[in-house]
Amino acid sequence: MLKVLPGNLSGELAEFLKTTRLDPVFIIYPNKAEEMDSDLRKKKFEPYLSLLSAAGAKLVIQVGDDPRWGLDYYRDDIHPTAEGNRVLAKITAETITHHR
């Protein structure tokens, strides 16, 4: 996990992507309220998606936009059920496989 202290998030993210030998995958995961309201999800995530794009992130997975994901996969406001974890793993694995 990349944890950035307050500062220049955009610059630090760009530097990380430029200097890492890794090919990081960023997963944007909505809480239950964001999953219920696609407009809210878009409003909350757009600044981060723009930042990732500007920094050169190659692979960003937006779980809430995947048709396989839904409200039934939350056991509370944020945590997935056991089945939700299986679906998240499948979304992640298939997306990575198709983009590499």
Q: Where are the beta strands (DSSP E) in 33-78?
A: 59-62
pLDDT at 8: 77
Instruction: Give the integer Cα–Cα distance in Å for 46 and 20.
Output: 24
For residues 65-99, b (16+ Cβ closer than 10 Å) or e, as one string? ebeebeeebbeeeeebeeebeebbeebeeebeeee
Query: What parts of the chain have a pLDDT lower than 50?
Result: none
pLDDT of the residue at 1: 64
**pTM score of the predicted model:** 0.84
Tokens matching residue 22 = 């890794």
User: Among 61, 45, 53, which Cα is nearest to 98's?
Assistant: 61
